[in-house]
Chain A
Amino acid sequence: MAFIRHNLVRIVNAISLLNTNFWRWFHQLASPPHVFALAGRVCPWFAGLAIIFLVAGTYGGLVLAPADYLQGDGFRIIYVHVPSAYLGMLAYMVMASSAAIGFIWRMKMAHGLAVSAAPLGAWFTVLALVTGGIWGKPMWGTYWQWADARLMSELMLLFLFLGYMVLRASFDDRDKADRISAILAVVGVINIPIIHYSVEWWSTLHQGPTIAKLDEPSITMDMLMPLLIMIIGFTAFFGWLLCKRLQGEILKRERQTRWVDGLIKGRTA
Chain B
Amino acid sequence: MTARQNRMILIGLVVTGVTVSAFLALQAFEENLLFFFSPAQVAAGEAPTDRTFRLGGMVLEDSINREIGSLTLNFIVTDYTASIPVSYTGVLPDLFAENQGVVARGTLDNQGGFIAEEILAKHDENYMPPEVAEALALSEGSQTP
Contacts and interface: CB of A to CB of B under 8 A. Distances in A.
A138 B56 CA distance: 19
A147 interface: yes
Contacts of B121: 139-141
A203 B36 contact: yes
A218 B56 CA distance: 22
Contact of B129 (A138, A186, A209, A220): A220
A13 interface: no
A141 B54 CA distance: 15
Contacts, number: 116
Interface stretch (B12-20, B42-50, B66-74): B12-20
Contacts of B131: 66
B36 A219 contact: no
Interface residues of B, number: 43
A14 interface: no
Nearest to A213: B125
Interface in A198-224: 201-205, 207-210, 218-220, 222-223
Interface in A59-107: 66-71, 75, 78, 100, 103-106
Given A186-B11, A203-B35, A140 B123 contact: yes
Contacts of B30: 202
Given A105-B4, A138-B94, A139-B94, A218 B129 contact: no
A208 B125 contact: yes
Query: A140, A183, A189 — which one has the most chain B CB atoms within 10 A of its CB?
Result: A140
A194 interface: yes
Nearest to A198: B33
Given A104-B4, A220-B127, A186 B15 contact: yes
A78 B14 contact: no
Given A186-B14, A223-B128, A71 B123 contact: yes
A205 B103 contact: yes
A73 to B, nearest CB: 12
A108 to B, nearest CB: 15
A202 B127 contact: no
Nearest to A68: B127
A148 interface: yes
State the 5 A-B residue pairs at the shortest beta-carbon distance, nearest first.
A141-B93, A69-B133, A66-B129, A219-B127, A69-B130
Interface of B: 4, 7-8, 11, 14-15, 18-19, 22, 26, 30, 33-38, 54, 56, 92-96, 100, 103, 118-134
